[in-house]
Amino acid sequence: MKNEELHKFTSEDWKLLESQFAGFSLPVIDFVTENKGSLSEAEEIYINAFIYYTQLLELHGLKLSTKAEDLIYSFSRKLWIKVLGKRNVDVNFVKHRRSFFEMEDAFHEIESINERSEKTAEKLAEVGEPARTLILEHIGRNAELAIIGSRLGYSDEDRAFGQISKSLRKLIRLSEGKTFELDDADFKLLLRYVLDNQGRDSIDLNEEKKVAVTMISRSVAMIRSYVTRNQRIAKLKEMQERIHPDVHSALEKSQPVSTQKNRKMKPIAVFALSAIVALSVSVMTAFGISGFQKQNQQSETETEINADTLITETVVIDSMPVIAHSSSAFAISNDGLFITAAKVEKGIRFKLIPSVEGEVLIGEVVFSDTAQSLAIIKCTLESRLRLPYMLSFEDPKIAQELYSISNYKQEFFYTEGKVNAAGVEGMGKVKLDNTTPGAPIVSEKGQILGMVLGNGDENMNLVITSSKMKEAISKYEENSGLRVQLVTRNGLFYSNRTSQVELLKPFIYEVKNI
């Protein structure tokens, strides 16, 4: 593989990829959940398969994007079968609803390149600075040598290039175990030949120089592959934070009409319910990198929990009244569903008072989880809302910065904080001043990370995570037979903090007893 042949994604290409990422999850969700997987595992497999798919496009061009859905499904199938194999599941009985590509060659090609580029990156670290930065910037990112050399203290371009040549020679020795009898001047000329000609022109070389050119070309390709891969993954991560594949919509579409009317019918609804139950006892992601680790739902697999960085405790809220003297609620769908923190019964009605000029809403509790102190309120609207935010795909992590916004006596309150502690069952503690139960906690990128439940000990607020909120929404769907259309795009991603708060204001309400 010649790295110079990698396809470079344009802004238009990324728009296409965003559309494909948002729209092609259905077959993957079907496949994973019908073959002993949970919703969270299906999401993870889909995202990983999409990363493989984009790397395939880099290697072979955008012409393959016309087969996107088939390719993504095929990569997902390969990844999930690998997981099942580790769990000693007989993969001969794996169910399929569609045809697929075997993808053996593509997997081997991609994983081989990734392995070699990672090895090159590791050996580059041994080369040391400033040579490592020179190589990554000039060879990997095509930065102008005069600029990068000057910044790193080299008086002229030739001296900087000489340092690159010596360091690349050392890199080849470390990564390939190969040394050359060539002097530094000859090796430097061969490196210029590789970088300038990119294989287009041929010259007469003796056998040793041919080997040197091959080794130089391979190292240059791996350096560029490593840099390109990191840039692509960073872009994909940004995209995935703004656009979340709608797995619940995928589940709905995968069921025949008769099944949609009867939520208890197999196969998909049963797997969805199983995923919700499983997630209740093994939380997908917690407050902290080593908090609640992702756990497999199969009993064959054990997952270690790193207790050194996790405060494990059972949070019991006995003192929360039916509705606190000051509580907030915020919209979770464009058609009038709101969520708040309260121990209430289904059917109770409340007033929702806006923090800005607007209509006072009358809502009825349509779902209540008293164990979690959480309620969903349905309000009749004159017109649909246009929510600019989404529930986060990931739960908050310990020490993560966040903020909360709440509405009390028609005044809008803003406060900043960090996750201070994590506990079992998707609960945690955050120290926030001037906030109320039912107020959302928001990430720096504008995603809803969870909701404030009330005051705990040590002057900290108890909070519930977005994954637990999603579980409650799924239970409401199961009980009601209705579909909740969650927003799957983060419209606050590119906004600064002030703009985020202004855009959030219209959707934060104060809750009052009628």
* Arithmetic mean of pLDDT, 473-484: 90
Which DSSP string corresponds to 126-150?
HH-TTHHHHIIIIIIS---HHHHHH
Q: In 90-183, which residue ranges form alpha helices assigned H by DSSP?
A: 104-127, 131-134, 145-151, 157-176
CB atoms within 10 A of CB 405: 23
Higher pLDDT, 41 or 377: 377
pLDDT bracket for residue 96 (50, 70, 90):
confident
pLDDT value at residue 254: 45
Which DSSP string corresponds to 438-458?
T-EEEETTS-EEEEEEEE-ST
pLDDT value at residue 4: 41
CB atoms within 10 A of CB 3: 23
- What confidence tens digit (pLDDT) does each residue in 323-344 have? 545 789 999 999 999 999 988 8
Which two tokens mark 456? 């705990």
The size of the chain, in residues, is: 514
pLDDT value at residue 277: 34
**C-beta separation of 353 from 407 below 8 A:** yes
pLDDT value at residue 331: 96
pLDDT of 313 above 80? no
| Residue percentage of the chain with pLDDT more than 70 | 80
pLDDT of 109 above 80? yes
- CA separation for the pair 185, 177 (Å, rounded): 21
Letter for the amino acid at 173?
A: R
Which two tokens mark 144? 């102008």
pLDDT value at residue 375: 94
* Helix 39-60 with 104-127: angle, nearest 10 deg: 80
pLDDT of 285 above 60? no
H or E element that contains 259:
helix 257-261
Which two tokens mark 158? 């030739």
- What confidence tens digit (pLDDT) does each residue in 34-55 have? 898 888 788 889 988 998 999 8
- What confidence tens digit (pLDDT) does each residue in 160-169 have? 999 999 989 9
Q: Is 409 helix (H, G, I), strand (E, B) or coil?
A: coil
pLDDT value at residue 424: 55
H or E element that contains 236:
helix 207-242
pLDDT value at residue 71: 93
Chain centroid offset of residue 15 CA: 18
Which one-letter DSSP state was computed for residue 151?
A: H
* Arithmetic mean of pLDDT, 407-411: 78
Upper half-sphere CA count for residue 228 (Cβ side, 13 Å)? 24
pLDDT bracket for residue 292 (50, 70, 90):
very low
Q: What are φ and ψ of residue 415, in 5° steps? A: -150, 150
Please, what are the domains in the chain?
Answer: 3-102+246-253 (no CATH), 128-224 (no CATH), 327-513 (2.40.10.120)
pLDDT value at residue 178: 84
pLDDT of 26 above 50? yes
**C-beta separation of 124 from 135 below 8 A:** yes
Residue 268 sits at the vertex; the CA angle it makes with 265 and 272, to the nearest 5 degrees, is: 105
**C-beta separation of 491 from 481 below 8 A:** no
- CA separation for the pair 437, 511 (Å, rounded): 10
pLDDT bracket for residue 270 (50, 70, 90):
very low
* Arithmetic mean of pLDDT, 225-253: 69
- Give whole-number Cα distances, 425 to 28, 129, 217, 281, 465, in Å: 28, 46, 53, 7, 9
- CA separation for the pair 223, 241 (Å, rounded): 27
pLDDT value at residue 202: 59
pLDDT bracket for residue 501 (50, 70, 90):
very high
Instruction: Calculate Rg over the CA atoms of the chain.
Output: 27
- CA separation for the pair 506, 491 (Å, rounded): 14
Which two tokens mark 459? 């002057």
**C-beta separation of 40 from 284 below 8 A:** yes
pLDDT of 11 above 90? no
- CA separation for the pair 182, 161 (Å, rounded): 17
Which one-letter DSSP state was computed for residue 362?
A: E
pLDDT value at residue 227: 83
Higher pLDDT, 428 or 314: 428
pLDDT value at residue 294: 33
**C-beta separation of 429 from 456 below 8 A:** yes
Which two tokens mark 267? 């196969």
- CA separation for the pair 49, 302 (Å, rounded): 24
User: Omega before 396 cis (within 30°)?
Assistant: no
* Arithmetic mean of pLDDT, 406-419: 84
- What confidence tens digit (pLDDT) does each residue in 440-473 have? 999 998 999 999 988 766 678 888 999 889 989 9
Mean pLDDT score of the chain: 78
